[in-house]
Chains A and B, each alone.
Chain A
């Protein structure tokens, strides 16, 4: 019985289709559950989907490396998807021109500090270089962060986990601080969400309003570009 099942599993794993099926199914189920739960900001749809998928792999005994080899076919699309981010970026250009001074003054220090605070803290606490390289792109949108962490010698799954926690935390802290300080300006809230919380923050910003959402996408793309240029250079300079 067990032997038969194992045989069936290895037959199904011969092509990438099982991995692709499981990913699609978990993603769509995660999105549904997220809506059912009333869109909790502390538990984004990707997190639900990832937990479902991990549980499925664990229960069916599929090896993560086998799954990953198949799902690699889906991840191939990350390259063209990163290039596609040029379209919203281009569409945000008028807004950048309108507010170039605050954006120019805020973005470089904010994007650098987003990485440095966490890397610095982890370094002080004695993290390994591998962990440091995985934490550095924590505020960068996933397709760009994957490229960065590969270049720095980090571990992609660890980086992804960090990305998820950062997005959730950034969303929570922006809500908390803005209520506490009485900040209502959608442009400020959106930009801060995008710079610190990448896609997860941007999704949240669109719930504040379209202005907040546009500024979040702007903050997210600029942080991504800036970090893609800055982090590898900084790493080289520090000699890690």
Chain B
């Protein structure tokens, strides 16, 4: 029952996100707006209730499964993007190498020296 109550909260914040996106013509997905609204709400409350916790944890744990129907689609669009695959591959592999290197460099530059907690 407790997680069902938490689920009600999550869906409520999702609907709030939908409403805000529509009212303010935001170029962001309703889920993200709902997430930000819930984060603000939790900050104001100062704690996460047991109900919200018990609904969020299992949902986050099955995220990988929820995206699978989308992931599988990639095997069925091979022909539709026939001329683009080499470009996509190069852009992803090289782009990721560059961005990992840049993030490492930036982080090391701004980080205080590793604390004694390690």
Q: Is A64 an interface residue (CB 8 A)?
A: yes
Q: Is B108 an interface residue (CB 8 A)?
A: yes
Q: Is A133 an interface residue (CB 8 A)?
A: no
On whether the beta carbons of A188 and B84 are closer than 8 Å, the reply is no
On whether the beta carbons of A87 and B42 are closer than 8 Å, the reply is yes
On whether the beta carbons of B106 and A150 are closer than 8 Å, the reply is no
Cβ contact of A50, chosen from B39, B66, B75, B97, cutoff 8 A: B75
Which bracket fits the contact residues of B? 35 or more
Majority-rule SS of A interface residues: helix
Q: Is A213 an interface residue (CB 8 A)?
A: no
On whether the beta carbons of B35 and A89 are closer than 8 Å, the reply is yes
On whether the beta carbons of B87 and A127 are closer than 8 Å, the reply is yes
Q: Is A205 an interface residue (CB 8 A)?
A: no
- Distance in Å from the Cβ of A182 to the closest Cβ of chain B? 11
- Distance in Å from the Cβ of A73 to the closest Cβ of chain B? 10
Cβ contact of A160, chosen from B70, B84, B98, cutoff 8 A: B70
On whether the beta carbons of A192 and B107 are closer than 8 Å, the reply is yes
- Distance in Å from the Cβ of A116 to the closest Cβ of chain B? 8
Closest to A121 in B: B91
Q: Is A13 an interface residue (CB 8 A)?
A: no
Cβ contact of B110, chosen from A87, A102, A162, A236, cutoff 8 A: A102
Majority-rule SS of B interface residues: helix
Q: Which residues of A contact B111 (CB under 8 A)?
A: 99, 102, 185, 187-188
Q: Which residues of A contact B96 (CB under 8 A)?
A: 114, 117-118, 138-139, 165-166, 169-170, 173, 196
On whether the beta carbons of B56 and A84 are closer than 8 Å, the reply is yes
Chain A residues close to B by CB (< 8 Å): 19, 23-24, 26-27, 45-47, 49-51, 53-54, 57-58, 64, 67-68, 71-72, 74-75, 77-91, 93, 99, 101-102, 105-106, 109-110, 113-114, 117-122, 125-128, 131, 135, 138-139, 141-144, 146-148, 150-151, 155-166, 169-170, 173-174, 177-178, 181, 183-188, 191-192, 195-196, 199, 211, 224-225, 228-229, 232-233, 236
A-B contacts, 8 of them at CB < 8 A, read: A58-B75, A75-B66, A79-B34, A86-B42, A110-B103, A110-B107, A113-B99, A119-B95
Chain B residues close to A by CB (< 8 Å): 7, 10-11, 13-14, 17, 27-32, 34-36, 38-39, 42-43, 48, 52-53, 55-57, 59-60, 62-77, 81, 84, 86-104, 106-112, 114, 117-118
